[in-house]
Every structure is written in C-alpha cells, then in structure tokens.
Structure 1
Amino acid sequence: MNPDVTTELYPPARLAQVQEATAEAGLGALLLTPGPDLRYVTGYDAIQLERLTCLVVPGEGEPFLVVPRLELAAAQASPAGALGVEMVPWDETDDPYALVARRLPSGLAAVGLADRMWAVMALRFRDAMPGARQVPAGRVMGRLRVRKSPAEVAALREAGAAIDRVHRLVPGLLKAGRTEREVGRDIAEAIVAEGHARVDFVIVGSGPNGASPHHELSDRVIGHGEPVVVDIGGTMPSGYCSDETRNYCVGEPPADYTAYYEVLRRAQQAACEAVRPGVTPEAVDAAARDVIADAGYGEFFIHRTGHGIGLETHEDPYIVAGNTEPLRPGMAFSIEPGIYPGEHGARIEDIVVCTEDGFERMNLIDRALTIVD
C-alpha cells in the first residue's frame, strides 16, 4: 500500500486514543494479539501463531509490542515500525506471558483481552496474572472501531467497487448444467483478480439451496429456471472487507419467486432510506421487516437485517431488534433482508455508511433480478 494511505488508515495518534480509552474503562492494560484490533491500532497484520505476539497498552506507561524474535523483522517492516512503539523480542526458551506480567505494574485489577485471542493464550495470561480479572477488549475497542474515519470509508468504498466488478462477471459464469462449486471457483478467482488480497467467502445457492442463508458450495447442478443467490466477499490489501449479495435466475424465474422478490426489493430500499443519525438499528431492522411481514412473508425472514463491517466482515453495529444504540455518522453496516420460503430464496445486500444526513451505498450494482440466458 501507499505509505500515505497506510498512515491515513492507521494513524499514529490512534495508539494514544486507545490508551486513553483503556484508562477511562478502568483497565490496567489491553492485551491485543493478532487480529483486527491489533491491526486497527498499529496497522500490523500479524500472523496468528502459537508463539505469542501481543501489543500491550497499559492504562499508564509506555505501550510495547512483544514479538517472537523470528517475527521481529516483519513487525519492524510493518506500519507498527513507524509508531515508535518499543518492540520486545522473545526467544524460544522464554515465557512471553511472564515477560508481559513482569513489565506491567503488579496488582492490576483488570486487563482487557483481544476478542479474537485464542483461549489457550487467555489461560496463559490468567496464570501469569492471577489477580487480574479478564474482560473483553471489545469494551474499549468496539466504541473506537464502530465509527469509521473518512479514510476507512474510502477503503470500504474501494472494497465495494471491487466486489461490484465481480458481480458484473457473474452472469457470464452462471449456466444451466454447471455445479455451484464450479461457479464458485470462478468467482473466487475473480475476487482476487479484481483487487482483493484474499477471498473470505463464496455462496452460490441454487434452487432450494438459496433458502439456506449460509449455504456452502456443493456439487449440485444448477438447473434451467432456477433462482441463484450469490453472496460474496473478501478482504482488500487495506484490510477492509467487502460483502454483497445479488440474485440471478438461469432462464425465466418461477412466478411465486418473482412476486416475493419485488417485496424484498422494497424492503431493502425501505431499510436503506431509514438510515440516518439518531435512528436506532432496531428501527432500520423494522423498516425492512414490516414491508416483508405486511406482504405475508414475515415467517420467511429468519435473520437480522444487517451487521457492521470494517476490518471484519461481521462487527458492530448489528442491525437487529433490541439494538437501541443510535446510529452515528461513520457507522458502516450491511442492509440485507431475505425471504426463504424453501423451494428457493433471495437476499439483497448492500454495505451502507451512515452519513451526516442519511446514508451512502458502497455497492452500486442494480438490485433487480438478473436473468441469465
């Protein structure tokens, strides 16, 4: 990545913000192992290994990054190397958990552990600091990550454009007689070719498989006249994710499918138009759900309306009944109502960002059903 872009996405001031939030939360330290939290704070996309890599952010005092000596060069070459944070290498015969404990003040009441930390690492930290209560670091990191900066929104916009380009290729890949797995393989290749660093998921749900929201690719042969749900996403070199669902039919679709698909389009549009600062996620969910229920399909909408997205495909905020935390500018999330009667199913998904006065879509491809000859 361009160094200027990296600095905008992972600004040096972020470490100080995290430290301030750690102290405000009453935590003695945050312990961030490889994963989205570590990358958010430092830009370092560290490999998750059985050897401990951990950014230690104390409530007071200087942060430091503990790394296996064989990973030191990679850590120094990453954006973390430009932060001026001390890097503490450890050797194969060292105990890195004890090393962390020794460098922190004794008697800490509580520490925050990265939400994606391996359980075995959490247990080792518990043994090294038996008096410290362990809490999820998400209590601190969540409220920082949930509102995207302009640079983050730009990264999501780039991810949305890349996955749009893949969906434009899908009609040329879908043909009666091909299997879901064959189509999925071609889509996966296109995801990387269109700019993603890696493929996160490919769902190609034909016929009844389209009624399973998280269907895995199978060897089912796609038949003529069958609707197909295509839900795809990946991670860009920036670290930010894409996620988009569109619907296709090989030949003319069944009449009952066409009827509920138009309901679904209206529901997805209603939910998007409900997005603005101050509105609750549960109200956005209700905007989609009410349209579907009023048309008689309520029992077939079996999941929440959306999930946050950023350095993870699924993160806060969740667009679901019961979430009453008001939306604020910079929050990014999917709007993806679905209807799944059984013989087939449909879901329309866009990533949107809450703006100062409404919303912006990251995905711009037409939401109409695409008929493939």
Structure 2
Amino acid sequence: MFSADRLDLVRSATAASGAGALLLTPGPDLRYVSGYDAHALERLTCLVVPGDGGDPFMMVPRLELPAAQASPAGRLGVEFVPWDETDDPYAVVAHRLGEVGSVALADRMWAMQSLRFRDALPGAEQRLASSVLRDLRMRKSAAEAAALAEAGAAIDAVHALVPSLLKAGRTEREVGRDIADAILSAGHVTIDFVIVASGPNGASPHHDVSDRVIRAGEPVVVDIGGTMASGYCSDSTRNYCVGEPPADYARYFEVLRAAQDAACEAVRPGVTCESIDAAAREVIAAAGYGELFVHRTGHGIGLESHEDPYIVAGNDELLVPGMAFSVEPGIYLPGEHGARIEDIVVCTEEGVSRLNNTTRDLVIV
C-alpha cells in the first residue's frame, strides 16, 4: 500500500492544488502517504512535499530517526533530515521551502505545530491537507479494500463471541471488558471503541458502557471497532436480546432490517451519497419511525474510523469504485430501547461488496 507510486500521486496532487507545500505530521495523513505510523510528540516529525515538484523530505527528531528509517517510509527514497534538541526544525523547513504562498497542513496537526509553522512561514496561507489528499484517500485501492476486508472479518469474529458473553445479571462494563479482550485476540492492535448499550441505553447512539446490570428481556446494541496492524479500521454494530424481545422492539427491528438492506442494495457507482441515506430513511419514515432515526446513515472508513465520504442528506457527491463507508441506520425510542445495524461496504464496479458477514438478524441469547 505504501509505495513510491502513491508518493508520486501525492506529489502531483500537491502541485495541482496550487499549494506551495504539503506538511504532514504524525497521524493518518502521514501514514497514508508514507506508511510511517509516527508517535505524536511535541518534537516535530513532518513530511514535506514541495508543490513545485521538488523532492520530498522528512524532518525527524534524531532520536526518532531509526524508527522512521525502519518504517515503510524508509523504502520510498525520501530524504530524512534529522534535527537535534537545540535546532529549530520549523526554521529548517521554512529555509528549504523558501517563499511559498500557501501550505497544506495535516488535518490532525496539533495547534502548537500549525502556529509554529505560521510564525516560520508568515507569508503562507494555511489550508487543510484534505484539500490535497481527500480524493486519493477516499478511493481505496485493491490493497486497501483487502485490508478493510481483513478488519471486517476480525470484528465479525468478535461478534460471533458476543452471545456467549451476554447474560442477565452481568453489567455492560463486564461484557465490554470481555469484548475488548476479544477485539485484540481477533487481530486488532488497538481497541477504538466498545459500545454495550442495554435496555434504555440502547436509545443513545453513542453510549459507551456503564455499570448498569443487563436484565432478562432486554435488547442490547453492541457497536465495536478497532485498528489492525495495517492501520485500517473495523466498525460493526449488531443487536442482541437476553430472552424474548418486547413486541414493539421486534416490530421496528424488522423495519430497520429492511432499511439497512435497501441502503446497501442502493450502493453503486454514479449514485449520490445522499441517495444512500434516503434509501434507508424512506423505509423507516414510511413505517412511522422517521423521527426516531436521528443520525446520518454512514461515514467513510479507512485509516480513520470516520472519514470521507459521509452518507448524509445534502451530500451530492457521486459514489465511485473504491469508496468504503458504513451503512448504519438506527431507530431509537428514548427511555426504552434502540437498535442499529451497521456494515462496512465498498462501492465496486458491479455495485456493492459488504465486508461484514455475521447475521444481521436479532440474535436471541
């Protein structure tokens, strides 16, 4: 995934954007371009891609140089410029770039670093690196899609274990700890989030875990995700019930299931992001639950669990092959319960590929 070809594409995109330079500090933008998963520190690590076609170089604290050289960036032919504790790396970057009219800064650059670059390059307008990298990052290569599929299979393996963990009398936190262990055991290197939302907590889409005791007859929303060694993320939501579900829950769950299927089936090149949102929303609204679907239908995923494109009303961007995103409609009854079904999908030339393949039905435990 991290090749000289990708770096060449980034060099071309930087030049085409009109930016004087692309400045990437530790985070997903730097990892996308170079493969270097650098520590975010107060000491500056920064890949500099000049907009005039000049050769890229990477400022690296001298003590971090071995790690940078050992990363995929070490195979790209990028010049490493080590700096010592008494050096000013921002001044070095400014000197090497000369006069530039603008710089594109990593979207997740720390404010303390962006302000230092503002001082070092006072004549340069600052813009976001996504103005250069967005289209490249949004359209996944075959290798990236394979990495996302690996992540999807890993989180599916965790969901396969969840029925054995959910029991009346256990707390959400106890179940969450077991799920977190399973996420790592399944091949993830980090746990990004664990939501175990029982009973009325299921009506809060971004509930975490709590000390609430799970009771018999209660639905439970389990939304989990992590990051693989490749850097690519997983994210999947499934629904469980400890015993038979309440009748009203069973009714709207079937509506939700149909809405999620409709949205997935609508994915194909040339349709808009908002049309996928509409496909799910129309099913839910027609059944009388429209006001209870309170969030967008999906978000892009890759080196970040939330990135472009966003599947939401008002986004008329057209889907193209390689776009990867979640499809996750939900219905939430405040004070009672809720449900959400989430798969990661990839838009393909033929239509859609789902990367999560555990049952989307309500699982009774």
Instruction: State the TM-score, normalized to the length of structure 1.
Output: 0.97
List per-residue Cα deviations over 1:322-359 (Å, max 9, x = no partner). 11110000000000000001110000000000000210
* One-letter amino acid of the counterpart of residue 342, structure 2: E
Secondary structure class of the residue paired with 2:261: helix
- Equivalent position of 1:6 in the other structure: none
- Equivalent position of 1:200 in the other structure: 192
List per-residue Cα deviations over 1:23-47 (Å, max 9, x = no partner). 1010000000001110111110001
Query: Separation in 2 of the partners of 1:143 and 1:124?
Result: 28
Q: List structure 1 runs of 4+ shifted beyond 2 angstroms.
A: none
* One-letter amino acid of the counterpart of residue 321, structure 1: A
RMSD: 0.5
- Equivalent position of 1:234 in the other structure: 226
2:269 matches 1:277 = yes
2:252 matches 1:260 = yes
- In the TM superposition, what is the alpha-carbon distance from 1:229 to its structure 2 partner? 0.2
List per-residue Cα deviations over 1:157-195 (Å, max 9, x = no partner). 100000000000000000001000000000000000010
How many residues are aligned here?
A: 363
2:44 matches 1:52 = yes
List per-residue Cα deviations over 1:288-308 (Å, max 9, x = no partner). 000000000000000000000
* One-letter amino acid of the counterpart of residue 250, structure 1: V
- Equivalent position of 2:358 in the other structure: 365
- Equivalent position of 1:339 in the other structure: 331
* One-letter amino acid of the counterpart of residue 43, structure 1: G
Equivalent of 2:123 in 124, 131, 136: 131
Query: Separation in 1 of the partners of 2:350 and 2:290?
Result: 30
* One-letter amino acid of the counterpart of residue 362, structure 1: L
Query: Separation in 1 of the partners of 2:311 and 2:349?
Result: 19
Q: Percent same amino acid among aligned pairs?
A: 75
- Equivalent position of 1:36 in the other structure: 28
Query: Separation in 2 of the partners of 1:317 and 1:333?
Result: 7
Query: Separation in 1 of the partners of 2:191 and 2:253?
Result: 28
1:279-318 matches, cutoff 5 A: 279-318=271-310
Query: Separation in 2 of the partners of 1:101 and 1:221?
Result: 57
- In the TM superposition, what is the alpha-carbon distance from 1:16 to its structure 2 partner? 1.2
Equivalent of 2:164 in 161, 167, 172: 172
- Equivalent position of 2:71 in the other structure: 78
- Equivalent position of 2:95 in the other structure: 102
* One-letter amino acid of the counterpart of residue 102, structure 2: A
Secondary structure class of the residue paired with 1:168: helix
Secondary structure class of the residue paired with 1:340: strand
Query: Separation in 2 of the partners of 1:362 and 1:309?
Result: 12
- In the TM superposition, what is the alpha-carbon distance from 1:105 to its structure 2 partner? 2.2
Unaligned runs of 5+ in 1: 1-8
- In the TM superposition, what is the alpha-carbon distance from 1:197 to its structure 2 partner? 0.8
* One-letter amino acid of the counterpart of residue 65, structure 2: L
